[in-house]
């Protein structure tokens, strides 16, 4: 039984984080985004398996700005 190739992980939130160089939507680098159509099914699968960890790392390292807590401290 043949496996189907993985779909593109793109979620249409295409903004590249300046620190990591990875898209904040899908977690891929610019080179990985550009090369997606040329990657083998194995390369795509390996990359897709890596993305959740990348996104989690980016989220953990990102300093949150603004929000309710920031507004409340400005009023105090």
pLDDT by 10s per residue, the chain, length 76: 567 888 999 999 999 999 899 999 999 999 999 999 999 999 999 999 999 999 999 888 776 666 666 666 655 5
User: Residue 12 domain-assigned?
Assistant: no
pLDDT at 75: 58
User: Residue 7 domain-assigned?
Assistant: no
Q: Which residues contact 31 (CB under 8 A, 6 or more apart)?
A: none
User: Residue 67 domain-assigned?
Assistant: no
User: Residue 39 domain-assigned?
Assistant: yes
pLDDT at 23: 96
User: Residue 74 domain-assigned?
Assistant: no
Domain holding 49, by residue range, is: 31-60
Is 26:51 a contact under the CB 8 Å cutoff? yes
pLDDT at 53: 95
**How many C-beta atoms lie closer than 10 Å to residue 27's C-beta?**
23
User: Residue 37 domain-assigned?
Assistant: yes
Number of structural domains the chain divides into = 1
User: Residue 38 domain-assigned?
Assistant: yes
**Tokens encoding 70:** 């920031």
Residue 31 CA to residue 48 CA, distance in Å, equals 14
pLDDT at 67: 66
């Amino acid at each position: 039984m043949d496996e189907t190739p993985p779909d593109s992980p793109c979620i249409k939130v295409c903004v590249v984080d300046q620190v990591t160089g990875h898209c904040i939507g899908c977690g891929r680098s610019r080179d990985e985004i550009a090369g997606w159509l040329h990657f083998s099914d194995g390369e795509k699968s390996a990359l897709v398996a890596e993305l959740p960890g990348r996104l989690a790392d980016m989220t953990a390292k990102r300093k949150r700005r603004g929000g309710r807590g920031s507004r409340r401290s400005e009023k105090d």
